[in-house]
Structure 1
Amino acid sequence: MKRDIFSVLFFSLTTILYSQTSKKTGISRAHLQEFQKNLIINGETGGNVIVVSKNGEVVYKHIENSNKIGDKTITDQTLFPIWSMTKPITTVAALILKEKNLLDFDVPVSKYIPIFKNLMCKSKEGIVPCKNEIKIIDLITHLSGLSYYKDFMLDGMRAKSLEDLMDDIAEHPLEFEPGESYFYGLGHDVLGRVIEVVSGVSFQAFMQNYIFEPLEMNNTKFFLTSKEKELMLPLFVKNEEIEGFNETGITGINDIITYDMEFKVAYGSQGLISTPKDFSNFCSMLVNRGEFKNKRILSAQSISELIVRYADGPHSSDSDFLGVYNGLGVYVLDNPSLMDFKAPKGLFGHGGYQSTEFFIDPKNDIYGVFLNRSLTDYNHRFYFIKAVYDAFTNQPY
């Protein structure tokens, strides 16, 4: 009897506290926590983290640990490979140079990388000389025809520098004439080399000086010491043949990144390691139209350029994420009615190979960050965004 009374009192107190929290923040913590727990229970991720901000205030931040054998406990110091979420950061780096009138997006890449002057293209007639040159804008918007060819990661491991890697990339034919179609590829890696040539410093140094330091992204980097590598989350893998955790995160020829200090190539398309706090700072800058803590990183005009339409959807090869077009290196939600969720038109974002995601909602001053390290067949992008907007008690859209 006493236990029943205690249970009722505890439930009532919890309900009161939850109601107050929900009323204050406008978001149901219980809904998102249940979402995170179910990802683990259903074998979609290992431990995971979600951060949501609205109107400049973090309204939700929660770490859900899996407590499974082979996984690690996530803390504020845990490091996450963010893979293709590197691309929007590299895009911002290029926009910074554009604002300084040092980089024109409409000029050929060969102005900065001469070996890109005479590339070959795939065609119905076979491999032929390209009629068009790749422009800087094509690198950012995936209209260049550059692809992640079979040995790209091996070439990256062997390369002595980004400049060296460009020679390998230029040997492979483009998928089509530059500017004529959309194909998700390695354009941002070439863009990283362009940034080096234009700025006169290494790509890594430029990112550090103009993005990481001003945004206080103190733990975001391309390369790690052996001590720092101990903070990396293991990769959770689940498919028809295997389920478990992979300490190195390497599963084959297409994802060979060691992050060792000895590695020479800083990939502009997929090379960064980050943390929830660091990446939240990047998102804060985007949602605040280029400002972070009264520091101007980009102009509001440059931020608006991110959502200009350059190609129809789908984004990457994500055919399960409907109603989007491809902007300046990000997907942009154009027709939310095609999917069963409540996110608004104009939302934009990007994901990463190992199931990380972020989105920016300019209309409602919301951003969301989802970090984990998983390879499963789950549609993380759709369900993450849906979970966040379903959690708002006062729907913002």
Structure 2
Amino acid sequence: MTRVIRYSVVVVLATCCLVTPAFAAQGLPTAKPEDVGVSSDKVKELSEYMQGLVDDGKIAGGVTMMARQGKVVHLEAVGMADREAKVPMQTDSIFRIASMTKPITSVAVMMLWEQGKLKLDDPVSKYIDEFKNPKVLLSVDPWKTEPAKVEIKIRHLLTHTSGLGYSFTPNVAALHDELDILTGVATSSEPVADTVKRLTEIPLIFEPGSAWNYGMSIDVLGRIVEVVSKKSLGRFFEDEIFRPLSMIDTHFTIPDEKVPRLVAGYVPVETCLREVRPGERLKEIMVRDEAGFAGTMTLTSDYPYSPSNVAESGGAGLSSTANDYMQFCQMLLNGGELNDHRLLEKDTVAMMTSNQIDDLHVGASDMKFGFGFAILRDDEPVHPQLRSSYAWGGYWCTSFRISPRGDWIVITMAQVAGRPRDEKYDSLAAEAIEK
């Protein structure tokens, strides 16, 4: 079958939607920026910067949102939600948030920990038998493994120190491909329970606890949530997190009536973007040498609503809105509580958002990692408002940062596969704090 690929330069058709009390009433209250010590001019640069990315053809459109002291001071949409269909971006557009699913899964695990239903030092094999007797990869040529000295524990999964990889992880990428292990950003007819069992056929890339590597640890945690709670991951999220936080537009499977609000997915093609059409399966080459990538990422655009997709990936499967995810972030910033609903104790949130990997490094950076979040050190050579903040992003170009020091949150949402997290938004938000 010949695949017809449509290439086109992004046409700049921008629309700006300012935050209004009517919309924000579904979530946090609103405030004028200066009323909570934020510069109106500076915070406006968040959407102006995103508009510049639209103008340069790097994204089709997006949404930026900022809150301080529990009040929304900025919410704007720019560009197009669907460039080809000429659908303007809206502030309530729904985005594939990919790895921004991971912090939600991590919160679910810690809720079960608080309830005494699991322990951080429990071996994963206590919940998934196939994780017994793991092997560690010693060399590729010749292929050589040896039994791991320790089993993977829950805390190793939470911190990405398990030794599990992804389909783009050097040395084990080919095995991921051979076993057809998908990562949550592609339609899959296989339940995560089966995928996770097959994942154990791949040796670990290091001894658990000895290094940091981004991989499928949180997908495994999602399965553990199901085993412990005796609920599907989606049902647990809905009952224990989404409903209490009024996250009304966050789903593994988007209801039919909401599908028109889902933003079109794009992939970068040299100097322009190409839409990932529904049903189309792509294998994007991951070759960022500085990050150690050496494989591919399989993706489709229709997994949020396809009847064929049954995988509820705790590592990447959710779709959401900026407003919904702000609710989740504000709960964390509040120390585990929002709108009289307490999900976690303050001490638990503090533990999750502090360094849990000792002197290990997050990739090639000096960042640290907690239980689900990358953390900037208190002595990091960055704007003071960014120190001790925590953040994460998603493969489809979404991100958030939470600053306990300055009591603010910034969220950005776009839909371009593989576009790295843009730290410019974080800097702009930090610079907007006046007092």
Q: Same fold (TM over 0.5)?
A: yes
1:56 has 2:70 as partner: yes
Q: Which AA in structure 2 matches 1:355?
A: C
Cα root mean square deviation, aligned = 2.5
Structure 2: distance between partners of 1:215 and 1:21: 24
**Does structure 1 conserve the Cα–Cα contact (< 8 Å) formed by 2:156 and 2:208?**
yes
Structure 1: distance between partners of 2:88 and 2:273: 19
Show CA shifts across 1:211-253 (max 9, x none): 0110111110111345433321112332427533334485325
**Does structure 1 conserve the Cα–Cα contact (< 8 Å) formed by 2:249 and 2:321?**
yes
1:23 has 2:34 as partner: yes
Residues 358 and 250 of structure 1, relative CA distance in 2, 3 Å threshold = farther
Q: Which moved more, 1:115-124 or 1:67-76?
A: 67-76
**Does structure 2 conserve the Cα–Cα contact (< 8 Å) formed by 1:72 and 1:234?**
no
Q: Which moved more, 1:170-179 or 1:145-154?
A: 145-154
Show CA shifts across 1:323-350 (max 9, x none): 42112121001156545x4533210011
- SS of match in other structure, 1:388: helix
Structure 2: distance between partners of 1:235 and 1:214: 29
Tell me which of 376, 388, 391 is aligned to 2:429.
388
Residues 100 and 337 of structure 1, relative CA distance in 2, 3 Å threshold = closer
Q: Which residue of 2 aligns with 1:268?
A: 314
Aligned-residue offset at 1:42: 2.1
Aligned-residue offset at 1:161: 2.3
Q: Which residue of 1 aligns with 2:150?
A: 132
Q: How many residues align?
A: 369
Tell me which of 391, 402, 405 is aligned to 1:349.
391
Q: Which residue of 2 aligns with 1:32?
A: 46
Tell me which of 254, 263, 266 is aligned to 2:298.
254
Show CA shifts across 1:51-94 (max 9, x none): 11111111111111248842632224421000000000000000
**Does structure 2 conserve the Cα–Cα contact (< 8 Å) formed by 1:225 and 1:261?**
no
1:243 has 2:287 as partner: no
Structure 2: distance between partners of 1:83 and 1:104: 27
Show CA shifts across 1:249-272 (max 9, x none): 853252246222442210000000
Q: Which AA in structure 2 matches 1:152?
A: I
1:83 has 2:98 as partner: yes
Aligned-residue offset at 1:146: 0.9
Q: Which residue of 1 aligns with 2:182?
A: 153
Using structure 2 for the length normalisation, give the TM-score: 0.78
Residues 59 and 118 of structure 1, relative CA distance in 2, 3 Å threshold = same
**Does structure 2 conserve the Cα–Cα contact (< 8 Å) formed by 1:153 and 1:256?**
no
Structure 1: distance between partners of 2:413 and 2:281: 18
Q: Which AA in structure 1 matches 2:160?
A: H
Q: Which moved more, 1:126-135 or 1:355-364?
A: 126-135
Structure 2: distance between partners of 1:67 and 1:189: 29
**Does structure 1 conserve the Cα–Cα contact (< 8 Å) formed by 2:183 and 2:316?**
no
Aligned-residue offset at 1:113: 0.5
Show CA shifts across 1:131-171 (max 9, x none): 21110111110011111133321898555422222221111
- SS of match in other structure, 1:101: coil
Q: Which residue of 2 aligns with 1:8?
A: none
Using structure 1 for the length normalisation, give the TM-score: 0.85
Q: Which consecutive unaligned segments of at least 5 residues does structure 1 have?
A: 1-19
Aligned-residue offset at 1:314: 5.4
Tell me which of 296, 306, 324 is aligned to 2:352.
306
Structure 2: distance between partners of 1:314 and 1:40: 34
**Does structure 1 conserve the Cα–Cα contact (< 8 Å) formed by 2:212 and 2:361?**
no
Residues 239 and 335 of structure 1, relative CA distance in 2, 3 Å threshold = farther
Aligned-residue offset at 1:313: 6.8
Q: Which consecutive unaligned segments of at least 5 residues does structure 2 have?
A: 1-30, 167-175, 284-296
Q: Which residue of 2 aligns with 1:162?
A: 192
- SS of match in other structure, 2:406: coil
Q: Which AA in structure 2 matches 1:295?
A: H
Residues 336 and 49 of structure 1, relative CA distance in 2, 3 Å threshold = farther
Q: Which moved more, 1:306-315 or 1:346-355?
A: 306-315
**Does structure 1 conserve the Cα–Cα contact (< 8 Å) formed by 2:58 and 2:273?**
no
Q: What percent identity do the matched residue pairs reach?
A: 28
1:206 has 2:230 as partner: no
Q: Which residue of 1 aligns with 2:10?
A: none
Q: Which moved more, 1:262-271 or 1:80-89?
A: 262-271
Tell me which of 113, 124, 136 is aligned to 1:121.
136
Structure 1: distance between partners of 2:281 and 2:394: 15
**Does structure 2 conserve the Cα–Cα contact (< 8 Å) formed by 1:44 and 1:376?**
no
Q: Which residue of 2 aligns with 1:219?
A: 249
Q: Which AA in structure 2 matches 1:272?
A: L
Aligned-residue offset at 1:197: 1.0
